[in-house]
Amino acid sequence: MTSPAVPEIFDTDRLALRRERARRSGTGFLADLVLGAVVERLDDVTRRFETGLLVDRSPDEAAALSKQLGFRLEAIDAIGLFADRETGATPLDCILWPGGLESLADIPGALVRCRRLLRPDGMIMGAFWGAGSLPALRRIMAAADGETPRVRLHPQVDVRAMGDLLQRAGIALPVIDRDDIVLRYRSFDRLIGDLRGSGLTNVLAGPVAALDRSAVARAETAFEAARDETGQVVETMTLVHFTGWAPDASQPVPARRGSAKVSLRDALSSKP
C-alpha cells in the first residue's frame, strides 16, 4: 500500500534561503534562545552520550556545541533526516532538535526517522515555537489585510498534539511542556526584524502576498493601537519543549489496566 503524499505546506527552498540569510546576519536571538534552552535541559540529563545529530543547525554550531558538551554532534537539516543519513548507519546516542520543527510538513515522518536512527534507549530532545506564539502579530496582520484576509503565519503545534505525535512515532516516555516568552517592542519593524533574523518569517508554499503601501499603513496603525502604558507592544512566543527515548526493554512501562491489587475507591476511603 502506498503511503499518502505529504501536503506541501512549506516552500523548502525559500525556507533554506531564509535560514541561511539569518545565520549570516548574526542577529538571530530567538534562534539562540531555543538552542540555549535545549542545552540547559540537556545539563539535567545524567546519561553520557558519544554521538548525536544536531538538527536544523549549521556545522559551525555543531562543532562548537560538540566541544561544549564533550561528545560528537553532526549537523543535519530536517530534510536530510530522510535523504542524507543512511538507515543502516551506526545508531546514535541522541538527537538534539533546537528549533525548526515548526516549519516541517511531515512531523510524524521525521519523528519516526529519528526513532530509527537512535540506538535502543537513545534520546531525542528539542524545542520549537508552538501554538500560542505571536498573538499580537496575528491581530496586526489581520488588520493589515482588512477585508481580504490571507494566511501569513504558519500553522502551530501545541503541547497535546506534540505528545500525540511522539507516541504515534513510537517514541517512549515522552515529556512535553511549554514556556511563554514575553517580548516587548517599540516598533513594528523591530518585531519583523527579530523574526527575520531567526529565519521565522513566512515560508508557506505558494506565491508570497506582499503588503502594499495601504496594508503597511494599516499594520502600523494596528501596532500603534496595541501599545500599552509603557508605549510598547507586548508579544508572546510559546516555546514547546519535548524529550523522548527510543524504545528499549529496560525502560519502565505502565501497569496493565486492571492489575491493581487495591481499588482506587478503597484507597481513598481508607482511614489513616
Sequence-ordered strand ranges (E) for 189-249: 233-245
Sheet of 72-76, strand order: 72-76, 51-55, 92-98, 118-129, 233-245, 172-185
Query: How many whole angstroms separate alpha carbon 194 and alpha carbon 173?
Result: 35
Using a 10 angstrom Cβ sphere, with 0-12 exposed, 13-18 middle and 19 or more buried, the burial of residue 26 is exposed
Grid coordinates representing 98 are: 533546537
Contact 52, 74 (CB under 8 A): yes
| Beta bridge mates, 124 | 95, 244
The two beta strands, 72-76 and 51-55, are: parallel
Contact 136, 194 (CB under 8 A): no
Helix (H, G, I), strand (E, B) or coil at 146: coil
Assign domain 12-269 to its CATH architecture: 3-Layer(aba) Sandwich (3.40)
Query: How many whole angstroms separate alpha carbon 111 and alpha carbon 94?
Result: 13
| Distance between first and last Cα of the chain | 59
Local confidence pLDDT in tens for the 272 residues of the chain: 445 666 788 888 888 888 888 888 877 899 999 999 999 999 999 999 999 999 999 999 999 999 999 999 999 988 767 666 665 678 999 999 999 999 888 899 999 999 999 999 999 999 999 999 999 999 999 999 988 888 888 889 999 999 999 999 999 999 999 999 999 999 999 999 999 999 898 888 888 888 899 999 999 999 999 999 999 999 999 999 999 999 988 877 765 655 556 555 565 555 55
Contact 76, 54 (CB under 8 A): yes
Task: Name every residue whose Cβ is closer than 8 Å to that of residue 271 and which is 6 or more positions away in sequence.
Answer: none
Q: Check residue 50 and report its DSSP letter.
A: S
Q: What does the angle CA 15 – CA 32 – CA 131 come to, to the nearest 5 degrees?
A: 65
Predicted TM-score (pTM) of the model is 0.87
Domains of the chain by residue range: 12-269
